[in-house]
Homo-oligomer: A and B are copies of this chain.
């Protein structure tokens, strides 16, 4: 059986949101599945001495334009949220809690719901009340979700995921790995599809 595609993401990354919308169909076209890894870009940025593209004044304007245009190019709805970027650790902990207690499908459904909420309706995932309401409307037990993001065990789980991402060489999002080959960025979709179709090129 061909190996799963690893998909590393941060809930605050527009390019990861866009890729999250196409990655399952892409994988399915080539008989693959997707293994999602929620992580924090803040951790990988720090390790790699990088910063968000929107933190550079001259780069910011172009990058915001490119977020929206890249979404339109993939026919994915996009409304630039404010504030942006935001701290996404609570949403990521909910992801791992669902992943480990209900399975990868439940976690993937949460990833989709949280990404869409932030990038189409501006639901502030960093706001506990908004996150709790989002959980409830997404069919997730909101009280249990709130308990999970505050619990040491899920804080540790996310920390572990960040460390695993760093060990895998991840320094940006989305980050995809196909049969050991790393691809960084929503804009590597075409190369990824080619790699899946024909193997190394």
A188 touches B187 (CB 8 A): yes
Q: Is the interface of A mostly helix, strand, loop or mixed?
A: helix
Q: Which 3 A-B pairs have the closest CB atoms?
A: A48-B58, A187-B187, A58-B171
A62 contact from B57, B62, B66, B182, Cβ within 8 A: B182
Q: Which B residues are in CB contact (< 8 Å) with A201?
A: 69, 72-73
Interface size class of A (residues with CB under 8 A): 20 to 34
On whether A56 and B49 interact (CB within 8 A), knowing A73-B201, A187-B187, A191-B73, the answer reads yes
A58 contact from B66, B169, B185, Cβ within 8 A: B169
Q: Does A194 contact B (CB under 8 A)?
A: yes
* Residue interface bits A164-201, CB-to-B below 8 A is 1, else 0: 00000101000000000010110110110010000001
7 further A-B pairs in the complex, CB-CB below 8 A; given A62-B184, A66-B184: A48-B56, A49-B58, A58-B169, A58-B171, A59-B171, A73-B201, A187-B188
